[in-house]
Amino acid sequence: MSSESGESGRNVKQADPGTESTEAADQSARITQIRHGRGAVRGCGEQIADLSFGRKKNLNEALSSLTVNVIEEMRKAVQILSSVGDLRADDDSSEYENALERMADLVDNIDIANDFYKIGGFAIFRSCLNSSHGNIRWRIADIIAELAQNNPFCQDKLLEAGVFPVLLSMIDADPSEQARIKALYAVSCIVRGNPASLKYMNANDGYSVLLRAMQSPVEKLQVKSAFLLSSLCSKDDSSDIKCTLVKMGFIEQAAGLLGRMNLQPTVREQLLRVLNGMVNDNFLPALKECRRPQLCLKITLEQLLTELKPVENQDEIDMCSELLDKVFFEPDTNQER
Domain of 141?
A: 66-204
Q: Are residues 225 and 152 in the same domain?
A: no
Supply φ then ψ for residue 174, to 5 degrees.
Answer: -65, 135
On whether residue 337 sits in a domain, the answer given is no
Q: Are residues 240 and 153 in the same domain?
A: no
On whether residue 22 sits in a domain, the answer given is no
pLDDT confidence bin for 7, thresholds 50/70/90? very low
Q: Are residues 116 and 179 in the same domain?
A: yes
Burial class (CB in 10 A: 0-12, 13-18, 19+), 110: middle
Q: What is the pTM of this model?
A: 0.79
On whether residue 34 sits in a domain, the answer given is no
Q: State which of 204, 239, 265 marks the end of a domain.
A: 204
Query: What total number of domains does the chain contain?
Result: 2
Residue 79's domain is classified under what CATH number?
1.25.10.10
pLDDT, one tens digit per residue, over 38-79 is 554 454 554 545 555 556 555 555 555 555 689 999 999 999
Q: Are residues 145 and 199 in the same domain?
A: yes
Q: Are residues 156 and 191 in the same domain?
A: yes
> 41, 63 in Cβ contact below 8 A?
yes
pLDDT confidence bin for 8, thresholds 50/70/90? very low
Q: Are residues 71 and 200 in the same domain?
A: yes
pLDDT, one tens digit per residue, over 94-142 is 999 999 999 999 998 999 999 999 999 999 999 999 999 999 999 999 9
Q: Are residues 154 and 227 in the same domain?
A: no
